[in-house]
Structure 1
Amino acid sequence: MTTAEQVSHLLFKHLQGTLSVEEQQQLEHWLQQSPRNRQLFNSVNDEAQLRQQLLVYQEAQQQEQPVWDKIQQLRNRPSAGTVRQVRFPRKWMWAAALCVLLAGTGVYVWNNTPGQAPDNTATVAVHDVQPGKTGAVLTLADGRQVVLDSLQNGVVAVENGARVTLKNGGLAYNGSADNTTAAPLYNTLSTPRGRQFQLVLPDGTHVWLNAASSLQYPTQFTGKERKVVVTGEAYFEVAASSTLPFTVVTGNAAVQVLGTSFNINAYNNEGLLAATLVAGSIKVSAGESTVLLKPGQQAQVNHAAAKQEVKVVRDADVAQVVAWKEGVFNFEDVTLEEAMRQLERWYDIEVTYEKKIPDIRFGGKLSRDMSLKGLLKSLEEADVHFRIEEGRRLIVLP
């Protein structure tokens, strides 16, 4: 019989990638013994689920403080200062935390009664808020709107000869060469707060839309350029063309490319428009100012400035910029207020402050798949506290 301590050891070595052939066989044997064992194994490989299970365990047990003291010792917590930071545990740290729980208590994260499936209902509190998901609204050229959240795969519309097809949570346009001389029709794809979506434009360009964003585009590209209009945030992988430049217009700025990958953050409440180049080359223009970016650089335009000009950050944190596309909150050196704006969009909540806004900066990453309650539990490591109220309202406490 495999003990909890032995399972802990195997799971931790699995995440480190250091299992021997014999240990791998032992792990496989344990996985085949019970569906609950497989579910626990899957939770170890899923950081968000593991974090949630640990939080539930913490709340359910009143005598666990010595165990959690051990978990705290696994963390590298910075000293307090005027600007405080919290660093979230990496995946292996959470695995170590689980190992401490298993070895120190001799029980599973859930109630491991023979024949009883784990009860996951406790993971959602009355005032908890679930994370955003895939979904959008497509506005056709004639004004009709199609809600894409729950539609099945297939053709959802035909616009000027172009078939609009929904497949596996994404939208694609397949145009007809017979209609290239027709006047262009425009569609708009919009993501409300708490939704994100992706689509493939008629030229093969791939676009990801973050929450509270929109993209206006023709159902077919005609003429001498390809032009789209963006609000909010979007990531582009532009299909290369030496004869048809691709232009993204947002507010008073424009981004021109031939074929490249880049991110645009143009939320009005962020203060700055930021275009970050991942690969290739882009030209960013605002007012009479124009800059040419190299990979790893970011162009910034102040929304409120009387004179529109482009400033360049030559060593941008590209991984942080595109983290949303990978399903991650990257809060490295992010202020509390900036983090709360991201949560407002993704969880579709309203954030208010009971007193003044705390002077706090975060550090580290968290999964966007976590419930709001689970995510806030991690943020509270920075000595800031929250209260979730009915009506999707989050109060930041002093």
Structure 2
Amino acid sequence: MDQENDIQARYQRFLDNRATAAEVRELMTQFGTTDPVQLQKLVKQALGTAIDNRPLDDGGEQAILQIHDRLKKKLFPAPKHFLIRLLPYAAAISLIGAGIYLYIINRQQAGSLSSSFTKRKVTTTEIRPGFNQATLTLADGAKVSLDSTKNGIKVTAGQTVYNDGTSLKAPVANSSSIIYNALTTPKGGQYQIILDDGTKVWLNAATTLTYPSHFGKTREVSLTGEAFFSIANDTDKPFTVKSQNQVIRVLGTSFNLSSYADEKEIKTTLVSGAVRISTLNPSTNGSMDSQLLKPGQQAINAMGKILVKSVNVDNETAWRDGVFSFQGKSFSQIMRELSRWYNLEVVYEGDPPVNTYFGSAFRDDKLSVILGLLKSSNIKYRFEEGKLVISTLKREGAPELGHK
């Protein structure tokens, strides 16, 4: 039996209440060494079958609590101080909150949170996650709304079609000269594009990629927002990505670029290959700083100065696999990310909470589930006139599991 099937079998035995304490502990060890994306898919598949197909009514909440209680009994026969004693295991699988258990626990909290909003006639369950949607703006200014049942488009010999080969409802005219089009995802949208050279780009929400109908002697695009690039190799034509005051030059490589106007920093994370990051002086257009990245490194461009550090690339690219990664992010950072994906405005009463989070969530969950994961006793949510209003209550005491 290969490792993936072994983990899946062990996890299913746990959900079926057939695993011994030793098997559960072995499962924890495997979770700690499993690829994060694989682990996230495993949990989503298992919990989706067991829980997500039912609304979080009394029966749904009871199912979650039964799984939670089963875990306590298997790992810790004496239930006293369960959450504290669980921390070593939770740390091993920090990709999803403080572990699968935090996910399960907070699914119950999310149900309670949703119920409280229902009583006010405004529910977070009404706010659903983003989906495939984008607009293609042509060189002449014409706009084409792209099919949301498709996941992307591709450019071949100057012509644009969907990734599956079907034509656009409003065909994009072929042109022998190089013209520039723009692919834009709104808040709550995502889309993909394969450029004329075979380069693949995944666009996150609220992102615009400006690109040529076909490449000439150079390969150059510009980006605002966030996208993952898988660059087609062409040693004779380096690929250039411009974003705000930054230029990235690459050959064949893959990297993630986050360059939102409402963020203070531009982050470039290299997955494979090599890239050179250069910052530009807005007045002279001359180079201010330049750094060469290696795989596993991230360049943080703040006011033209580049800081390079090593990061977990899975966390930085998790969005492409349908996952929010909140590792080390502040509450306000997370809210900006949720604002873009769920297409909502976030308003604070007073200063934003200072909590730092170490967890993850699924991007296809409703907002109520995400807010449940972020829930703490000093943060209150409510909806007013279509806005998410957040207030912070001053309190003393230790932070809750999952953030600090």
TM-score (normalizing by structure 2): 0.68
Query: Any idea what SS the aligned residue of 1:376 has?
Result: helix
Counterpart pick for 2:227 among 224, 231, 234:
234
| Pair 248,388 (structure 1): closer, same or farther in 2 beyond 3 Å | same
Deviation track 1:223-249 (CA, whole Å, cap 9, x = no partner) reads 2x2000000111000000110110000
Cα gap change, 1:18/1:138 in structure 2, threshold over 3 Å: closer, same or farther? farther
Change (3 A) 1:382 1:248: farther
What does the per-residue CA deviation read over 1:122-161, in whole Å, with 9 as the maximum and x for residues that have no partner?
A: 9x974530000011000112211111144779999x99x6
* Residue 207 (structure 2) aligns with: 213
* 1:270 match: secondary structure: coil
Among 189, 198, 205, the alignment partner of 1:204 is 198
Residue 177 of structure 2 is matched in structure 1 by 183
Pick closer, same or farther for the CA change 1:265–1:59 going to 2, 3 Å: farther
Greater mean alpha carbon deviation, residues 199-208 or residues 44-53: 44-53
Structure 1 match to 2:382: 387
Conserved? CA contact 1:87–1:362, under 8 Å: no
Distance 1:334 1:53, change over 3 A: farther
Tell me if the contact between 1:135 and 1:169 (Cα under 8 Å) persists in the aligned partners.
no
Is 1:276 the counterpart of 2:247? The answer is: no
State the AA in 2 paired with 1:365: S
Deviation at 1:57, TM superposition (A): 2.9
Distance 1:202 1:275, change over 3 A: same
User: Whole-Å Cα distance in 1 between the matches of residues 16 and 274 of structure 2?
Assistant: 38
Is 1:396 aligned to residue 394 of structure 2?
Answer: no
Distance 2:346 2:143 in 1: 30
What do the CA deviations read for 1:266-315 (whole angstroms, capped 9, x no partner)?
1121101111100000001013311111101111211xx3xx232211x1
Q: Is residue 166 from structure 1 mapped to residue 175 from structure 2 by the alignment? A: no
TM-score by length of 1: 0.69
Give CA-to-partner distance per residue, 1:304-352, whole Å, 9 cap, x none.
x3xx232211x12211110111111111121101110000000000011
Instruction: State percent identity of aligned pairs.
Output: 33
Aligned AA for 1:166? Y
Q: Name the amino acid aligned to 1:318.
A: V
Correspondence for 1:119: none
Distance in 1, matches of 2:346 and 2:100, equals: 29
Shift of 1:88: 2.6
TM superposition shift of 1:52: 5.0
Classify 1:155/1:249 alpha carbon distance in 2 versus 1 (closer, same or farther; 3 Å): closer
Q: Contact 1:131–1:194 at 8 Å: present in 2 too?
A: yes
For structure 1, the residue ranges without an aligned partner over 5 or more in a row are: 1-8, 20-41, 79-84, 101-108, 110-121, 173-177
Aligned match for 1:88, one of 97, 101, 104: 97
Q: Which residue of 1 aligns with 2:311?
A: 316
Q: Report the equivalent of 2:45.
A: 45
Check 1:236–1:166 CA distance in 2 against 1; reply closer, same or farther (3 A cut).
same
1:88 corresponds to which letter in structure 2?
G
Q: Which protein shows a greater Rg? A: 1
Distance 1:154 1:359 in 2: 38
Which residue is 1:330 aligned to?
A: 325
Are 2:352 and 1:357 aligned?
A: yes
Aligned in 2, Cα 1:221/1:394: closer, same or farther, shift over 3 Å? same
Alpha-carbon offset, residue 18 of structure 1: 8.7
Secondary structure (helix, strand or coil) at the match of 1:264 reads: strand
**What does residue 291 of structure 1 align with?**
291
Task: Give the aligned residue type for 2:300.
Answer: Q
Q: 1:171, 1:14 → 2: CA distance?
A: 48
Q: Distance in 2 between matches of 1:274 and 1:281?
A: 15
Matched, 1:56 2:59: no
Q: Distance in 2 between the 1:147 and 1:331 partners?
A: 32
Aligned to 1:133: 131
SS at match of 2:208: strand
Root mean square deviation, CA, Å: 4.3
**AA of the residue aligned to 1:325:** R
Aligned equivalent of 1:145: 143
Structure 2: runs of 5 or more not aligned: 1-8, 20-41, 73-78, 88-93, 112-117, 169-173, 280-286, 393-404
Asked if the contact 2:96–2:361 (Cα under 8 Å) also holds between the matched residues in 1, the reply is: no
Contact 2:132–2:150 (8 Å) recurs in 1: no
Q: Tell me the equivalent position of 1:5.
A: none
Q: Return the letter of the residue paired with 2:138.
A: L
Instruction: Please state whether the residue corresponding to 2:56 is helix, strand or coil.
Output: helix
